[in-house]
Structure 1
Amino acid sequence: MEHWDVVVVGGGPAGAASAAAARRADPAARVLVLDRSDFPRDKVCGDGIAPEALDVLAGLGVDTAALVDGYPPVPRLRLRSPGGTTVERAMHRPALVVPRQVFDARLLTAVVAGGVALRRHTVRRIEVQAGRVVVDGALTAGVLIGADGAESVVRRAIGLAPNRARHTAIAIRGYAPEPAGLAGVQAILTTEQRWPAYAWSFPLGDGRANVGYGELVSGGVNRAGLLAGLERLLPGVAPAELRAHRLPLSTGRPRQPDGRVLLVGDAASLINPLTGEGIFYAVLSGALAGAAAVRGGDAGAAYRAALDARLGRHLRHSAAASGVSRWTRVMDAAFRAAAGDQRVFDDVVALGLADGRLTARTLAAAVRRLR
């Protein structure tokens, strides 16, 4: 059997970042990415790229300007609370919207150019043995990184159950002309009906927008309900094609086990419970896992410690905010506070789209509006 130092299952942003980080940690490492699809390929997602995600990739030596070339920055974000409070402001740093069919292919191409091997292969069986991980009886890895998404084969192989319904959302997504009144603006819109639920519209810069709607699986959601929710929050928007995807939220993430198998991105349930954002978590967890992968048998413990040090406090804050947000009055108060103070708005955006925390400033401002 052929042997590789690191095998990454999944060539999306989490997997690409993992592979790049492993090569950066040890330029002599033999790193292989396996993916069941050829690239370019679509990935059902909102297509929003937080600038903090690009920061992580730049730190791995990736030319991030090339990744987003042709897609203009989107400086403004509109938020609407369940009670109807609307706030629109310029973000501290503009976000970008790049179709995943474009972004993922560009990123993986850049990583392969850096010395990573890529092979089309559908992984079906993983065996953890002493000193190695065997993939489909055909190749071995010193460390295996599961970056294979919400339906992760790697996660199942090491005995970790999928998220429970209350920690899983499902969303539909399509492309349509920019909704009236939202040209050039990213928008996340919520409603009291079937809360917690939200719709989004993210402009591509060519007159089209990525639009969608999602809610928790535990609410008994079905396709008809998703379509109705999209029409309720973005009336008149009619994408030519709608595709669905699951979102395993970070409030249900498993504990990273010790050993030679690591989980990153969606496979590790790293999806922001407030916004459904996952790209930042994907590339950050991938970068941390790739750096730990060169540790061999100690990789699992090293990655777990690095992830907790870098993201643990934020994840605890986002989980707390997600729990509190079930009271719509609290959400309304927070959005009113954001409407009145740019710094509070920036705090809210950082908590939902990057690695921000519940600051004393934001909490105090929300309490004042709540009273």
Structure 2
Amino acid sequence: MARDEPGRDPEAWDLVVVGAGPAGAAAALGALAAEPGLRVLLLDRADFPRDKCCGDGIAPHVLDVLRTVGAGHVVDGWTPLEQLELSREDRSVTGRMARPVWVVPREVFDARLVEAAVAAGAVLRRHRVRTLAAHAGGTLVDDHLLARVLVGADGAHSVVRTHLGEPNAGRRALALRGYAPTPDSRRGRQVIRYGDRRQPSYAWAFDRGDGLSNVGYGEFVDDHAGPDDEGVTRAILLEQLERLLPGSTEGGTQWRAHHLPLSGWRWDQPDGAVLLAGDAAGLINPMTGEGIYYAVATGVLAGRTAARVLAADEPEQAGRAHRAAVRSLLGRHLHHTWLASRLTRRPEVVDAGIGAAGRSRHAFDALVELGLGDGRITPRLAAGLATELVRGTRPTSSTRPTTRTPRR
């Protein structure tokens, strides 16, 4: 877009959302569901549909949120999955999840969310945001767009986060994803196999239901870096994926890698009329790398907050209100995922989790909630983990691999 002529008033919007991925589209939907007459502008540097490195798993929690803003249809036509398999070395558990998940390529999922936001009244423009500046009427975007409230949903390398002076998330993971034919042994299920390089690390294979699976491997990269660190290369990521899930790279295409800014113990949001959501807010589950639920949930909260403060003509209150809303929803959950990610650096804790999930339906369900939604380490889950640690979950080398269905 060409810049306005010198001296010309900037183009004014009630809400400008930088980034039109799940967090940004959800922010637009949240705002327009609350106040349909708002002038909402969605900016993204790419055209849609566009691909993005991701496991593509859409948890039921995501749809719970999207239904509240009229976008629960985004998984229509895709096959729900009910089976989840967790394993490490010769320990394994397979069970039916309490609620199904969907595996929808981001090319499809993100485009459908953007279409829903536009249908609700948002304006979508392709534009790469480079500069932000304070202005008497709000935030000036690239000298020619004026936002009374601005939402940063522009991903891990967020321009908006940098503008706010917020430090980047301290811990990061690196993941590689591709699409490969689904073998008969993995049809109808999500498969996660934990590795042994940088804990926690895992390979995955998620059946899309159309003959292909989303396959990938990810591991932490920051906490282990040192002067003799060999680094994490594409070749290493592919090697680990093939080692953990043999045959999963055969016929694979569309390989893409991506850094993930992982959530910490405490989440913050500065005061003022600029909000953060999703990856830009450093909200990715540090135990699993899942980020779509956080993106959609915090995006909708940001949109609703924007609508409320604009209606009250108090845009400067947006940051305080958004901070309170996100902490109310995710605060305790983030404490528990931070703790879980620390504990699962130890292989024996991963084994204990698999063992507890095989012995207890509650433990299986609690682990799914902790990894995919807003769950917590419940007392019963903690007791199950402690029992398994005392028992010693690793069988001897002569013991046959154990596969369990969680007991009720």
TM-score bracket, shorter-length normalisation: over 0.9
* Other-structure match for 1:355: 374
Cα deviation for residue 28 of structure 1 reads 2.1
SS at match of 1:148: coil
What residue identity is the alignment partner of 1:54? L
CA distance in 1, matches of 2:304, 2:76: 28
* Other-structure match for 2:292: 279
SS at match of 1:250: coil
CA distance in 2, matches of 1:282, 1:240: 26
* Other-structure match for 1:195: 199
Cα pair 2:205 2:248 within 8 Å, conserved: no
Question: In the alignment, does 2:195 pair up with 1:176?
Answer: no
What residue identity is the alignment partner of 1:229? Q
Q: Name which of 63, 69, 77 aligns with 1:60.
A: 69
Normalising by structure 1, we get a TM-score of 0.96
Question: In the alignment, does 2:234 pair up with 1:227?
Answer: no
Q: Which runs of at least 4 in structure 1 moved beyond 6 Å after TM superposition?
A: none
* Other-structure match for 2:96: 90
CA distance in 2, matches of 1:84, 1:292: 48
Q: 1:175 to 1:188 in 2, by over 3 A?
A: same
Note the alpha carbon deviations across 1:314-354, whole angstroms, 9 max, x for none. Answer: 11111111111112112211210101111110000000000
* Other-structure match for 1:51: 60
Normalising by structure 2, we get a TM-score of 0.87
CA distance in 1, matches of 2:153, 2:317: 19
Question: In the alignment, does 2:242 pair up with 1:236?
Answer: no
Question: In the alignment, does 2:169 pair up with 1:163?
Answer: yes
Cα deviation for residue 195 of structure 1 reads 2.4
Q: Name which of 38, 41, 44 aligns with 2:47.
A: 38
Note the alpha carbon deviations across 1:13-59, whole angstroms, 9 max, x for none. Answer: 11011011111222221111011111111111111000110110001
CA distance in 2, matches of 1:257, 1:321: 27
Question: In the alignment, does 2:155 pair up with 1:144?
Answer: no
SS at match of 2:294: helix
Task: Tell me how large the CA RMSD over aligned residues is.
Answer: 1.4
* Other-structure match for 2:353: 334
Note the alpha carbon deviations across 1:97-130, whole angstroms, 9 max, x for none. Answer: 0001011111110111111111111111011234
Cα deviation for residue 236 of structure 1 reads 2.0
Cα pair 2:263 2:284 within 8 Å, conserved: yes
CA distance in 2, matches of 1:24, 1:52: 19
* Other-structure match for 1:268: 281
SS at match of 2:264: helix
Q: 1:370 to 1:110 in 2, by over 3 A?
A: same
Q: Name which of 200, 205, 215 aligns with 1:211.
A: 215
Q: Name which of 72, 76, 89 aligns with 2:79.
A: 72
What residue identity is the alignment partner of 1:158? L
SS at match of 2:215: strand
What residue identity is the alignment partner of 1:225? I
What residue identity is the alignment partner of 1:210? N
Question: In the alignment, does 2:325 pair up with 1:306?
Answer: yes
Q: Name which of 21, 27, 33 aligns with 1:18.
A: 27
Cα deviation for residue 87 of structure 1 reads 0.8
Cα pair 1:84 1:332 within 8 Å, conserved: no
Of 83-92 and 275-284, the range deviating more from structure 2: 83-92
SS at match of 2:319: helix
CA distance in 2, matches of 1:187, 1:105: 26
What residue identity is the alignment partner of 2:258? H
CA distance in 1, matches of 2:351, 2:67: 36
Cα pair 2:85 2:94 within 8 Å, conserved: yes
* Other-structure match for 2:227: none
What residue identity is the alignment partner of 2:107? Q
Cα deviation for residue 157 of structure 1 reads 1.6
Of 237-246 and 104-113, the range deviating more from structure 2: 237-246
SS at match of 1:28: coil
CA distance in 2, matches of 1:69, 1:25: 24
Note the alpha carbon deviations across 1:62-121, whole angstroms, 9 max, x for none. Answer: 2x23x112211000111114x542111000000000001011111110111111111111
What is the percentage of aligned positions where both structures have the same residue?
54
Cα pair 1:173 1:212 within 8 Å, conserved: yes
SS at match of 1:143: strand
SS at match of 2:50: coil
Gapped runs of 5+ residues in structure 2?
1-9, 225-230, 310-314, 391-408
| Residue correspondences, number | 366
CA distance in 1, matches of 2:11, 2:135: 15
CA distance in 1, matches of 2:130, 2:162: 11
Q: Which has the larger Rg?
A: 2
